[in-house]
Every structure is written in C-alpha cells, then in structure tokens.
C-alpha cells in the first residue's frame, strides 16, 4: 500500500456520518502535536513544530485560538499536511496557494464563510476537511483540485455545489450532510469513483474519517 493509499484509508475510519464527532484519540494526539501558545511568532519558530510522519511534512496548529492564519505560515513551502482545525478563523487568505505541496488540508471547526479561489491551485490536494464552518458556497475553482479523494463539507450553510466539481474524477468520499441542500447536486452524478450509494452523500449511513495529523 502506498503512503497516499494509507492516508486515504486512515481518513475513512471514524468520522461520524452526522457531520463529525471529535474522537478522544484525536484530542489527545492534537494536544501532543500542537506547539505552545507563545511560540507562533516567526516562521523559524513555527517550522520547529513541523514533524515528519509517514514521509510527509506535517504541521498541526489545532486548538490555538487563532483568529487569522499567521503570515509566517506561507513561508513554509515544504508543508504537505496542515491542520488548522478548531480555531476561530473567519477567512483563509489567497496566500494559501503558496503551499503548493499540500496533500491534506484540515480546516474543520472554524468560522469560515468562504474559501479563497486560490484553493484551486493546490494541484496535489487529496484530502480536504472543511466541515462545521459557515460556508454558504464552495468556490468553482475547487474543481481544479482533480487529485481530491476525500471531501467533507458537512455542517455548513450550502444550498448547492458548483458544476465544476464534476471534474473531481478521483473523489471516493463526499459528505454534504447537515447543509441546506434539498436535492443531490447534478455534479455528483459524474463522480464515478464515489464509494457507496449517492444517497449517503446527503444522508450518510456509514462513516467518514475524523482526521488526525
């Protein structure tokens, strides 16, 4: 099994179908990996908390009380897995596109009302967690992330999805539950690699993964 296959399998283990319940194991692990609160003052200091995990450069800034992403973060071009979950972020700046090596991006449990169009420039992205935010739309540009295999946008304020997501030809798991979507968006019917019946996208019967870095 390749590192990417292992990663995606891990992302399909324990994420609750009703939008995601934070598992105890995740809390314990994130507390261990997150840097102390007084340490986020420069790129060099943040860089010290990057760890190598299964061959990936990983940084977790979960539960930091962040209201905005530190500017220094955009200098860490080597990052492949980034966890900014459980903060107070309301926006993610366009500089996100600078992290072109990202394979996993975890933004769940913030206060995001939108995502930057530049997210479409993350050509290597395979896993994206943005559930439990305040999103009212998904940018068209996300359809350019054709390597995506796992996408959870549960527990937001979405009423539809852009047609461009039809391009996500490798997507295996999609969770749209607990949004304002009344009918299955047309783009989903073109996602031939989805695992399980299409009905589970809106009303999941099985589980998606609760992501841990």
Contacts (Cβ under 8 Å, ≥6 apart) of 191: 165, 166, 168, 169, 171, 174
159-179: pLDDT as tens digits: 999 999 999 999 999 999 999
Q: Is the pLDDT of residue 180 over 90?
A: yes
Tell me which of 35-39, 40-44, 153-157 is least confident: 35-39
This prediction's pTM: 0.80
Determine the Cα–Cα distance for residues 171 and 167; give it in Å rounded to an integer: 9
Q: What are the residue boundaries of the structural domains of the chain, listed by start?
A: 3-158+165-184+195-202
Helix (H) or strand (E) holding 127: strand 127-129
Tokens found for residue 38: 């007084």
Contacts (Cβ under 8 Å, ≥6 apart) of 172: 8, 12, 149, 150, 193, 194, 195
Q: What is the pLDDT of residue 74?
A: 95
- Give the mean model confidence (pLDDT) for residues 79-102: 98
Q: What is the pLDDT of residue 71?
A: 93
Architecture of the domain delimited by 3-158+165-184+195-202: Alpha-Beta Horseshoe (3.80)
pLDDT band at 183 (very low <50, low <70, confident <90, very high): confident
Share of the chain above pLDDT 70, in %: 75
Q: What is the pLDDT of residue 2?
A: 55
Residue with the larger pLDDT of the pair 13 and 133: 133
**Burial per residue of 39-65, b for 16 or more beta-carbon CB atoms within 10 angstroms, e otherwise:** ebeeeeebbebbeeeeebbbbbbbbbe
pLDDT band at 42 (very low <50, low <70, confident <90, very high): confident
| HEC assignment per residue over 43-82 | HHHHHCCCEEECCEEEEECCCCCCCCCCHHHHHCCCCCEE
In the beta sheet, which residues pair with residue 58?
A: 51, 81
Residue with the larger pLDDT of the pair 28 and 104: 104
Q: What is the pLDDT of residue 48?
A: 86
Q: What is the pLDDT of residue 4?
A: 52
Q: Is the pLDDT of residue 208 over 50?
A: no
Q: Is the pLDDT of residue 14 over 70?
A: no
């Amino acid at each position: 099994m390749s590192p990417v296959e292992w990663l995606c399998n891990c992302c399909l283990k324990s994420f609750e179908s009703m939008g995601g319940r934070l598992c105890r194991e995740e809390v314990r692990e994130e507390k261990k990996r997150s840097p102390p609160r007084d340490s986020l003052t420069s790129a060099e200091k943040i860089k010290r908390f990057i760890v190598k995990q299964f061959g990936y450069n990983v940084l977790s800034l979960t539960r930091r009380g962040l209201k905005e992403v530190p500017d220094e973060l955009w200098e860490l071009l080597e990052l492949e897995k980034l966890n900014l979950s459980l903060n107070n972020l309301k926006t993610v700046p366009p500089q996100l596109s600078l992290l072109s090596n990202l394979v996993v991006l975890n933004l769940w449990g913030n206060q995001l009302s939108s995502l930057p169009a530049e997210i479409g420039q993350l050509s290597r992205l395979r896993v994206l967690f943005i559930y439990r935010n305040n999103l009212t739309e998904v940018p068209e540009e996300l359809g350019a992330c054709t390597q995506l295999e796992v996408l959870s946008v549960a527990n937001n304020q979405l009423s539809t999805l852009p047609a461009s997501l039809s391009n996500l030809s490798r997507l295996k798991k999609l969770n749209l539950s607990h949004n304002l979507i009344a009918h299955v968006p047309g783009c989903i019917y073109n996602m031939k690699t989805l695992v399980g019946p299409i009905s589970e996208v809106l009303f999941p019967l099985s589980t998606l993964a609760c992501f841990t870095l």
